[in-house]
Every structure is written in structure tokens, then in C-alpha cells.
Amino acid sequence: MIWRIIFFILITVPGLIAIVTFQTIYLWLKWPNWHFFPHLAHKLVCFNLGLKVRQIGQPARDKPTLLVCNHISWLDIPAVGATAPVSFVAKSEVGRWPIVGFLANLQKTIYVDRQRKTDTGRVTDEMSERMSSGQPVLLFAEGTSDIGLHVLPFRSALVGSAQTAMKDGAISELYIQPMTIAYTHLNGLPISRAERSKIAWVGDMGVEDNIGDILSSGTKSVTIMFGEPILFSRDEDRKLVTKKAEQAVRDMLVAINRQTALPTAHQGAH
């Protein structure tokens, strides 16, 4: 743990400061491919935290895409950020968390204020703007986190927001792409149920406690898998589509954790 803290202070912090500086200038000039510097930042954080990321499949491109995913830990953010140029949808509190909020802001996260029902319109507009520009938006659809052995029921409300954008004419078509995050090994050995508490963020655990566990837990292996996108029409039942995506995420998670035959992964264009 000591060397990770030293590395964080001497390498990661100066590196992130430089990346933020370049990213700020890049966004101010409105240049394309804004995700280059955040990608470097997430790679640096993953290295510092001992996080080894394995990617299976690809995020859909060139069409408006909403990625729906399970959620296990705040480590999901750097793991995904080091893999794909996505924008996250997260609760507004995330932006105020140490380290986590910094990484989320760098990834142009769309924040949802759960206390304000009138916030839905703004979130819908931001999601449609990102997706219509060809940038995938990622939703942790369970609404909370789990230890990584199960997939909790997906909430269809924000999937419905994306559908609203279609009905309003902001986007003409939409794909829902299932995506799975699975933490598989700790220090090179298959992770046990008890050891998952060193990674997962569940219950009333504080962010500082969780960061401490992660810093002291050694090398962690995570698999991120992208399933086949589901075409989502403007008149389709959002609950049925959300349920279909939920089952696809569950099938991928079970197969990765049990090391059995994997479902079909998405390999490129729609």
C-alpha cells in the first residue's frame, strides 16, 4: 500500500494535473476526440491501483448508443474510462467524491439530481446530444452497486429518457448495448466471495474506507464485455427492452465468473 501512495503523490497527481490542463485547453478549443486525455488519466489511475483490464468486444459506434451495465465499485469508472470513450450517467453526489468525482468529471459525466424531478428534461437533452454525436452514453442501470456475483433488476426510467429523445425528434434511432463488468482475480488468483468486499462498494461503506481497501488489496483483474446492441424503436416497451438488456448482462457476468462459454460479443459496426 505504501508504494501505491508514494506513486500516487509523485507520479499520478502531477500526471493528472498535466492531463487536466491539456484537457481544459482541448475542450476550450472545441477540438474533436476529447476522450484522448481522459483515456490517459484512467490508464494512469488503473496502473496506480493495480487494476488490469481485459476487454471483450467493442462499444457500438456511428449510431446513437446507450450502454447499460452492472455496477460493482467506483473502480468501474477508471476501468471503463481506460477502455472506451463513453460518457457516464451518475447521481449528482458522485461529482463531489474525492478521486472518483475527479475521474467522472474528466469523462464528461452527465449528473442526475434525484431530488429534482424537473431535472429529467436536462438529462434527456444531454444524453441525446452526446449520443447523436456518435458518443456512447453509459448507464449503471441497477441504480446501486453489488458485490459482482449477481445483476440486480435494471431501472428503466433513464432508458425511457433516451426513448423520449427519439419521440422528440432529437435522435432518429437508438441502440441499447448490454455491457458487463466482472472482477475475476485478486493477486493472480480467482477472487473469493469474501475478498469481493475489498473491491465492491456496497451498503453504508464510506468512500474513504473503500479507497483504503482497494489501495491495500494488491493486483485486481477486471473483464469488461460488450454484448450485441439491441435496436430500440420509439414505440417499443422500454421495460421489455430494459429487461432483455438486463438478462444479457447477467448471462455475460455468469459466464465470465464461472469461466464458461461466453455469449456473443459485439465486434464492430452495428
DSSP the chain: -HHHHHHIIIIIHHHHHHHHHHHHHHHHTT-S-TTHHHHHHHHHHHHHHTEEEEEES----SS-EEEEE----TTHHHHHHTT---EEEEEGGGGGSTTHHHHHHHTTPEEE-TT-GGGHHHHHHHHHHHHHTT--EEEETTSS---SSS-PPPP-HHHHHHHHHHHTTS-S-EEEEEEEEEEEEETTEEPPTGGGGGT---TT--HHHHHHHHHTS--EEEEEEEB--EEE-TTS-HHHHHHHHHHHHHHHHHHHHHT-PPPPBP-S--
Task: Look at residue 56 and tell me whether its pLDDT is greater than 80.
Answer: yes
User: 228 vs 208, which has greater pLDDT?
Assistant: 228
Average pLDDT of 31-44? 85
User: 133 vs 110, which has greater pLDDT?
Assistant: 110
Task: Look at residue 270 and tell me whether its pLDDT is greater than 60.
Answer: no
Q: What is the pTM of this model?
A: 0.87
Average pLDDT of 76-99? 85
Task: Look at residue 43 and tell me whether its pLDDT is greater than 90.
Answer: yes
Residue 171: the pLDDT is 74
Specify whether the CB–CB gap between 39 and 26 falls below 8 A: no
**Range of 91-95, 184-188, 195-199 with top mean pLDDT:** 184-188
Residue 1: the pLDDT is 65
% of the chain residues with pLDDT over 90: 34
Mean pLDDT across the chain: 85
% of the chain residues with pLDDT over 70: 93
Residue 254: the pLDDT is 96
Task: Look at residue 250 and tell me whether its pLDDT is greater than 80.
Answer: yes
Residue 211: the pLDDT is 72
Please, which pLDDT band fits residue 263 given cuts at 50, 70 and 90?
A: very high
